[in-house]
Structure 1
Amino acid sequence: MNWNTSTDCCNWDGVTCDHFTNDVIALDLSCGMLRGTIHPNSTLFNLHHLQTLNLAFNNLTNSQLPREIGRFSNSLTHINISHTGFIGQVPTDIIILRKLVSLDLSWNDLKLEPHVFYNLLCSSTSLEELSLDGVNISSILPTYVNLSSMKSLHLSDTGLQGKLPDNIFNLPYLEELDLSSNDDLTGRFPKIYTSTSNPLKLLDLSNINLSGVIPDIIGHLKSLTYLDLSNTNLLGQIPDSIGHLQSLTYLDLSSTNLSGEIPMSIGHLKYLKYLILSNTNLSGEIPDTIGHLKSLTYLSLSNTKLAGEIPDSIGDLKSLYYLDMHSNLIQGPFPPSICNISYLSYLDMSDNRFDGEIPQCLGNSSSNLLMVDLGNNNFHGIIPNTWDDCGVLLGLILNGNSLEGEVPSGLSKCESLRVLDLGNNHLNGTFPHWSANLQHLQVLVLKSNKLHGPIETSSIIKHPFASLEVLDLSQNKFVGHLPRKYFQNFDAMKNRVKNGTEMFSTQEYLTIGKFYSVTVAVKGSELSFQKISVDYNIVDLSSNIFEGEIPEVISSLNYLIVLNLSRNNLNGRIPYALGNLLKIESLDLSCNQLKGEIPQSLTHITSLEVLNVSRNHLVGPIPDGTQFKTFEATSFEGNPGLCGFPLPKCEHRSARQLEVDGEEESGFTWKVVMLGYGCGTLLGFGMGYMMLSTGRPKWFNLIADEIEYMILRRRKKRRHVYIGK
């Protein structure tokens, strides 16, 4: 924007000229917010002395690299058009740029012909840097490469095939090698030559079909600062020589078949910042020397077979902000030394065998914590109520322990809280009404505790639970009516858009390294929703002592996916308006006192996969709809007055008769009334009493059926006479 044609172009931003000739020799317009396309007749190609062209990180979508690029064959040494939106075929003329030192075409929708690729790889004697990440090459990598001048080779996600060249580590000047994310690239770890020093600093062979073991001689690559061998088929142990890579700052061996113990020599890597060993078969204890990585900021040891206790030296990692050890066999008390890690933001110790109490210091050191997950352990005692400075905390997950006491009111200070999961514990007390004031809360799970009393709605809080997407209060002892006011304010379940912007999903807040999941009871079984997003709105209030009718306001929760109100004392009819829940996939109203017919409106819900209305007092024909034909008889059993597929066919009786039929178990049936009508009121009640006290013998039922038939026949005859008149 500040290019002024009235001034010398050599003074423009991004333009470099030769001091003697004033010829333009370099254009650096990276991140320049450029838009549009580059045409073959562009005056750009008239800059015959251009040596450097950098257009990276602009919006030149649908531009093609013109063959006119060949005009720079005698001058151009550096080209960078990465992340610009270029498409189509890379012109063959690229190979006549004989002076090229650096070529970066990465992360565009480009395709490179195999012969052009081979020429760049094997014939460009001056090329030092080649970055083709994301370019479609789909070619076999030469088994022998002769890149005498190559310093940096990036070929990630290019569709390369074949085997890794054995001599790839023998290139005298190679400092960076990235062959990652090429699924069809196979082979064992390339040969490492010890006869000469190796300048390799970056090695990324992740997400390829790499097999075999990590050779002990890897310690010879002493210049390595970045090593990523994740998502491969490597097996065996981590060699002790890994400790010789003392310049290493990044080490990722995750998602491999590596086994054995973590070598003690890992503590020699004093510059290491990232250590990722998750999803492996590593076992044994965590070495105490791990606390000797004073620069460590990211440590992931999750989903392995590590056991024993966490060494106290973990607290010496003062720079650590990410600590993930979930899904292991770690036991013992929670190490208080972790509270000393002042910059810790993400802590996941879930799915282990920790015991003892959660130390008070965890709440005291919460000023930087974004996520705390200690779920599925053996913690007992009370939840610390010291959450004085938790304003940035997004998630607190303590489910699946033996915690007691009340939900700590100190959590009301955690104003940024998105997820609070305290389910499957032994908590008591009443509903934490203060949680309704957490305006960002998206997931509240208090299931399977000993909470009791009514869910009272505070008149002080004007917009309770406006962001809530998941509410699970199941398997407690809550009483009273369903919280109608809360339902009215579940804005996140009504609209995707709030205040003019699309609402973020829960996973965006919480998946720093692991998706948050929730399990709800549907149709008597536990269903796990591994990724909670804005598309998964869940309300589960089952297995409590709620009473009264189902409030129609629930029908306004347009994006509700799961609704479970089963195993309560709810009565009245199923609201017809529930048919407005067009996105619902699971609806469970079983084991209540509901009566009346199943609303025909439910047949409009084509997304409904699970329906359970069993064990109620419902009557009448089951609605005939496409989706209803997929439900089994167990979805409707325990309702004597229901009929129609998948239950037996309906007889020709009115819905009112069927409804009364469904009330036979209450003790005072329609047959008693009919007896009173046909035999005299006093006699009828007397016979009714006898029938009830004797368990309704068969002979009495026959008499009652006969009287019913006579009365109905008499009414029908009178109706014909009246019509005739």
Structure 2
Amino acid sequence: MNGYFLKLFNALVLLLLPAAGSLLGFNSLPNTAEIKCIETEREALLNFKQGLIDDYDMLSTWKDDENNRDCCKWKGIHCNNETGHVHMLHLRGQYPQRLRGAINITSLVPLQNIQHLDLSYNSFKGNDITELMGSFTHLIYLNLSSSYFGGSIPCELGKLTHLKYLDLSNNIYLHGQIPHQLGNLTHLRYLDLSDTDLQGELPCQLGNLTHLRYLDLGDNHLQGELPCQLGNLTHLRYLDLSYNHLHGELLCQLGNLTHLRYLDLSYNDLHGELPCQLGNLSQLRYLGLRRNSFSDETFLISSTSIMNSSSSLVFLDLSFNLLKSSTIFYWLFNSTTNLRTLYLYGNMLEGSIPDGFGKVMNSLETLDLSGNKLQGDIPSFFGNICTLERLDLSRNKLNGRFSSLFDNSSWCNRHIFKSLDLSYNRITGKLSKTIGILSELEQLYLDANLLEGDVTESHLSNFSKLESLYLSDNSLSLKFVPGWVLPFPLQSLGLRSCKLGPSFPSWLQTQHSIYSLDISDNRINDSIPEWFWNNLRIVHLNMSHNNLIGAIPNLPLKLPYRSSIILNSNHIEGKVPSFLLQARELKLSENILSDWFSFSCDQNIVANLAILDLSKNQIKGQLPDCWKSVDSLLILDLSHNNLSGKIPMSMSTLVNLKVLVLKNNNLMGELASLKNCSNLIMLDVAENMLSGPIPSWIGESMQQLIILNMRRNYFSGNLPNHLCHLKHIQLLDLSWNKLSKGIPTCLKNFTAMSERSINRSDFLNRVYWFNLTYYVVYSFIPGDYTFDITWMWKGVEQVFKNPEYLLKSIDLSNNILTGEIPKEIGYLFGLVSLNLSRNNLTGEIPSEMGSLRSLDFLDLSRNHLTGQIPTSLSEIDGLGKLDLSHNSLSGRIPSGRHFETYEASCFEGNDDLCGEQLNKSCPGDEDQRTVKPAAVNGDDCDCGFYEALYMSLGIGFFTGFWSLLGTILVWRPCRNAYLMFLNRVTHSICVWFQ
């Protein structure tokens, strides 16, 4: 939230509640020294206190003794100075001073004259808002916000007809619909139901609240369209409906809200035109329409009126919509020129930023155009916008030389300019030393461009306030003189691929404030000095893909809370130091670590560990047996080591685990210890020595599985039918085991494999396989956690990293399965790869396989299949690789489409197969011979006639063909016309097949 918005919000509060006493009916606090409280009300308050837990003595004055009998003098209590009745109960908490426990509203019923009730900012978990609240009919002010109330909003609140202020916000357990009885509160001026779990549609009765000045229903799950009765709230100054599921078009009735200053409709699914009536909102200062579905066609034309009339608009957010055309810049030229903050990021804007932009938008303070498709040279006029403080042009297609940013620009804003982000573009040239004129810079992001050359201390010496510096992924080399001390207090530094090596950068020794450091892929061929660990307090550290050598000493250090340490792909040796296990994310894969230093069972050390990747090392010995201390673990990868022994039973306590990879070790025994890991989406125990039957509980308790890899073990027995409960499974590999009996027919229940296309929202929500994005689970660690998936694909082991490879695969090869291939396999329409080779399957290939139109790989070789190859297989256009060899198939190999492209090796070993692919004729084939006409009588065969006929045909063909071709070759206009005709025909065919 920027500084301007804070000022705006404070101004609104002052506007809405200019005098809290006059608004709520409390013009002055009573003189409690001259009044005594009523005995029944004092007892009611003491009874109310009994159910509360007061850890901080907030109610220390509430005592039942002679010195404190006057409850009007108790803390949080005010009484009427004439009647003595309690009219204010103000028990607002303040972290950590909060009340908790059970709320006994029944005990407060005697307080029938209460007008002000504030129980906000406490902790009343498990308490509902009781319907007894409706009995306090004199209430003017009711605030129950931020106190963990649950249940639904009781409709009895509609009886509080004197209420002017109602705040139930930030109660995440509050659910249900907004009761329409709230429409009875016609005196209400302030209503806040935000940050709860309310659902359903907005009741049209809200239109009865004609005195409302503040309405906040944001961050709920409200649905449906905006009710037209909102147009009745003509006194409204603040309206927030953001973070809901509202859809449809905006209402023209919103134009009636002529006093509106703040309007936020972000994070909904609104679309269509902005009604011209919104031009009446002449006092509007904040307009938020982020993440909706407004497009060029419906937005630009219709919105001119609001912009022309809203000269007071200073904040506009249109991020994450469907805007494409750069016409929006010209629309802004002809509209308001008072904007201070403009967000357009995350759209699809194309073209270049027009030169006139800098002349018209001369009051901008923050401009964000990131995440679009803007092209052209990087503009230089931004330095002439003297009010500009923050500029973000990242993730576009801007090019040109970096120095052009400073050409023809006065940079009159250099004394206030704080943030510049040009990352992820195509900017070329060297890092100009003139960048030093931006001496007040706090953030500089130039990563992922085409910059080149050396960066020396002369480029950076003029900065004194720089906190974030990112130069990663360019062709830059940092060359600082020995002993140079950075003159700015860096907090985050990204220098990936900046050629810092071969020595470890000693200038980091003076930086004690860095919390995020990325010096990965920098050719550092050195050990990590001990001062590095002692001096830095890093939350996110990435030194991967270097040549770091030596061992990391086990220092008595305390890492920052929820830190991320990434040291994979180096040559670090020795043991895993236990102090690193304090991290939230620890990646040490692809090193030469030989042993655990001590996988501590101390809950205090490993309590935060969520990601642990020690794959591709040389760790030997048995798995430690104290996993119950790491119940926060989400991802565990110990693959490609020398681990032995059984999987310890303590792993059954990892109930939160999402990914478990133990591939390519020497583990043995059964899988009983994993039975309670019911939240797994990936289980990979391939290439071990595990044995026993495949447990049926895998299908019963691990129904979230997407990837199950048990390849190359010693599992035996049959395939349990319970595996068919894995409706989310997408990659299933049970190959190279000793599985017997038949393939269960219930595999048609693999729901995810029955869908031809992937559900993209499900892909994100479930933290899908190839790109396990860590912020989906825990948003506090920056960046993405990319998980490589190694999979047998078309007979070759391949590594997949990209979520675009949305594979759906079943591999049951190299077992001793018997019986027929179930025809139900034809229901798996989305299947891309199927390998049933090297088993003892019998019977015919089911014709239903022709329904697998997504199939790219099919291997049924080395079985005992009989019968003909079903012609339906020839209808799978995308079938890139087919192997039916070494079976007992018979008959003709189907022809048509691409079936002729398969080599003979795909069908060899089937003695009774025939066809062109095997260069083997089939029974019944006859040579095509030319049959001459038989002469009945020699005199009747007029040979001269046939000779004349053939001669005339030849002459006619010669004349007609060369008449056309000769004309085309010789006469240019005819040739051009013919070629244009061919182009039109070709284009029509291409369009037809697109």
Q: TM (normalized to structure 2)?
A: 0.55
Q: Cα distance 1:186–1:248, how it changes in 2: closer, same or farther (>3 A)?
A: same
Q: CA deviation at 1:224?
A: 1.7
Q: What does residue 402 of structure 1 align with?
A: 689
Alignment partners' CA distance in 1, 2:750 and 2:321: 43
Q: 1:333 to 1:593 in 2, by over 3 A?
A: closer
Give the aligned partner of residue 242 of structure 1: 532
Q: Secondary structure at the match of 1:236?
A: coil
Q: Distance in 2 between matches of 1:380 and 1:26?
A: 69
Go from structure 1 to structure 2 and tell me whether the alpha carbon gap of 1:122 and 1:433 turns closer, same or farther (over 3 Å shift).
Answer: farther
The equivalent residue for 1:479 is 741
The answer (yes or no) to whether the contact 2:351–2:375 under 8 Å persists in 1 is yes
SS at match of 2:909: coil
Q: Which amino acid aligns with 1:383?
A: L
Deviations along 1:247-283, one digit per CA (max 9) or x if unpaired, are 3221101122333323555946556711100122222
Gap change, CA 1:418 and 1:539, over 3 Å in 2: closer
Structure 2 equivalent of residue 153 of structure 1: 444
**Is it true that 1:304 corresponds to 2:594 in the alignment?**
no
CA distance in 1, matches of 2:913, 2:678: 53
CA distance in 2, matches of 1:152, 1:358: 48
Tell me how far apart the structure 2 counterparts of residues 114 and 608 of structure 1 sit (CA, whole Å): 49
What are the residue-to-residue correspondences of 1:437-476 with 2, within 5 Å? 437-450=725-738, 476=739
Q: Choose from 680, 698, 702 the match for 1:393.
A: 680
Query: 1:274/1:168 Cα in 2 relative to 1: closer, same or farther (>3 Å)?
Result: farther
Aligned residue in 2 for 1:594: 865
1:650-669 residue pairs with structure 2 within 5 A?
650=921, 653-654=923-924
- The change in CA–CA distance for 1:250 and 1:44 in structure 2 (over 3 A counts) is farther
Q: 1:203 deviation in Å?
A: 1.1
Aligned match for 2:825, one of 554, 567, 591: 554
Contact 2:371 2:395 in 1 (8 A): yes
* 1:436 is the counterpart of 2:724: yes
1:677-692 map, 5 Å? none
Q: What letter matches 2:589 in structure 1?
A: S
Does 1:216 pair with 2:523?
Answer: no
Structure 1 residues 93 and 607: alpha-carbon distance in aligned structure 2, compared to 1, 3 A threshold: same
Greater Cα radius of gyration, structure 1 or 2: 2
Distance 2:348 2:902 in 1: 53
Residues 579, 54 of structure 1: alpha-carbon distance in 2 compared, 3 angstrom cutoff: closer
Whether the 8 Å CA contact 1:245–1:269 is kept in 2: the answer is no
- Residue 163 of structure 1 aligns to a residue whose secondary structure is strand
Q: Hey, what's the Cα distance between the residues in 1 that align with 2:464 and 2:751?
A: 60
For the residues of structure 2 that align with 1:345 and 1:503, how far apart are their CA atoms?
Answer: 19
Q: Percent identity?
A: 28
1:583 aligns with 2:871: no
How many angstroms apart in 2 are the aligned matches of 1:504 and 1:76? Answer: 39
Mean Cα displacement is larger for which, 435-444 or 247-256? 435-444
Q: Which residue of 2 aligns with 1:419?
A: 707
Deviation larger for 578-587 or 154-163: 578-587
Q: Deviations over 1:367-388 (max 9, x none)?
A: 3211122222222233234644
Structure 1 residues 559 and 34: alpha-carbon distance in aligned structure 2, compared to 1, 3 A threshold: closer
Contact 1:310 1:335 in 2 (8 A): no
**Which one-letter code corresponds to 2:532 in the other structure?**
I
User: Amino acid of the residue matched to residue 253 of structure 1?
Assistant: M
Report how far residue 65 of structure 1 moved: 4.3
Alignment CA distance shift 1:504-1:152 (3 Å)? closer
- Is residue 535–residue 559 contact of structure 1 (8 Å, CA) maintained in 2? no
What is the Cα deviation at residue 181 of structure 1? 4.4
In 1, are the aligned partners of 2:559 and 2:580 still within 8 Å (CA)?
Answer: no
Distance 1:198 1:533 in 2: 42
What SS is found at the alignment partner of 2:600?
helix
Give SS of 1:508's match: coil
Q: Which moved more, 1:2-11 or 1:433-442?
A: 2-11
Residue 493 of structure 1 aligns with which residue? Answer: 753
Question: What are the superposed Cα offsets for residues 339-372 of structure 1, whole Å, 9 maximum, x if unpaired?
Answer: 3023211111111112222221111x22321112
CA distance in 1: counterparts of 2:914 and 2:894, whole angstroms:
10
Of 259, 262, 270, 1:7 maps to 259
- For 1:398 and 1:161, the matched residues in 2 are separated by 45
Q: How does 1:181-260 map to 2 (within 5 A)?
A: 181-183=472-474, 185-191=475-481, 193-194=483-484, 198-208=488-498, 210-260=500-550
Q: CA deviation at 1:617?
A: 2.9
Equivalent pair of 1:216/1:239 in contact (CA under 8 Å): no
* Letter paired with 2:829: N
Higher deviation after alignment, 336-345 or 39-48: 39-48
Query: Residue in 1 aligned with 2:884?
Result: 613
**Aligned position for 1:470:** none
Instruction: Output the CA distance in 1 between the equivalents of 2:900 and 2:757.
Output: 35
Q: How far has the Cα of 1:11 moved from its partner? A: 6.4
Task: State the one-letter code of the partner of 1:492.
Answer: A
Render the CA deviation track for 1:166-193: whole Å, top value 9, x for unaligned.
Answer: 434534414234444433x232454465
C-alpha displacement of 1:307: 1.3
Q: Give the letter for the 1:358 counterpart.
A: I
Is the contact between residue 278 and residue 302 of structure 1 (CA under 8 Å) also seen in structure 2?
yes
Structure 2 CA distance for aligned equivalents of residues 628 and 43 of structure 1: 61
Seen in structure 2, the aligned counterparts of structure 1 residues 431 and 73 have a Cα distance that, compared at 3 Å, is closer
Q: Aligned in 2, Cα 1:281/1:627: closer, same or farther, shift over 3 Å?
A: farther
Deviates more, 1:419-428 or 1:320-329: 419-428
**The one of 164, 170, 175 aligned to 2:466:** 175
Higher relative contact order (CA 8 A, sep 6+): 1
> Deviation per CA, 1:662-701, whole angstroms, max 9, x where unpaired?
xxxxxxxxxxxxxxxxxxxxxxxxxxxxxxxxxxxxxxxx
Match of 2:813, SS state, is coil
Once the two structures are TM-superposed, the CA of residue 542 in structure 1 deviates from its matched residue by 3.3
Does the CA contact (< 8 Å) of 2:900 and 2:917 recur in 1? yes
Conserved 8 A contact 2:576-2:593: yes
Instruction: Read off the aligned partner of 1:610 and give its amino acid letter.
Output: K
Q: What SS does the aligned partner of 1:290 have? A: helix
CA contact (8 A) 2:380 2:407 kept: no
Give the secondary structure class of the aligned counterpart of 2:752.
helix
The question of 1:540 aligning with 2:811 is answered yes
Residue 108 to residue 188, structure 1, CA distance change in 2 (3 Å): closer
Once the two structures are TM-superposed, the CA of residue 236 in structure 1 deviates from its matched residue by: 2.4
> CA separation of 1:86/1:250 partners in 2, compared to 1, >3 Å: closer, same or farther?
same
Q: Is the 8 A contact 2:353 2:379 kept in 1?
A: yes
Q: Summarize the Cα distance change of 1:641–1:236 in structure 2 as closer, same or farther, 3 Å threshold.
A: same
Partner of 1:690: none
* TM-score between both structures, scaled by the size of structure 1: 0.73
Per the alignment, residue 383 of structure 1 pairs with 671
Conserved 8 A contact 1:236-1:259: yes
Cα drift, residue 320 of structure 1:
1.6
The C-alpha deviation readout for 1:125-175, integer Å capped at 9, x for no partner, is 423322222344223222675343333211122332323234345344142
Change (3 A) 1:439 1:55: same
Measured in 2, the distance between the counterparts of 1:179 and 1:251 equals 14
Residues 267, 144 of structure 1: alpha-carbon distance in 2 compared, 3 angstrom cutoff: farther
Q: CA distance change for structure 1 residues 177 and 145 in 2, over 3 Å: closer, same or farther?
A: same
| Residue from 307, 318, 325 that aligns with 2:607 | 318
Give the letter for the 1:27 counterpart.
V
Residues 504 and 199 (structure 1 numbering): CA distance in 2 closer, same or farther, change over 3 Å?
closer
Deviation at 1:228, TM superposition (A): 0.5
Counterparts in 2 of 1:487 and 1:431: CA distance versus 1, 3 Å: closer
Residue 631 (structure 2) pairs with residue 342 (structure 1):
yes
Is the CA contact 1:614–1:638 (under 8 Å) kept in the aligned structure 2?
yes
- The one-letter code matched in structure 2 to 1:141 is L
**Residues 217 and 495 of structure 1, relative CA distance in 2, 3 Å threshold:** closer
The Cα of 1:503 is off from its aligned counterpart by: 6.2
How far apart are the structure 2 equivalents of 1:607 and 1:180? 44
Q: Which amino acid aligns with 1:29?
A: L
CA distance, structure 2, for counterparts of residue 533 and residue 35 of structure 1: 23
Of 546-555 and 215-224, the range deviating more from structure 2: 546-555
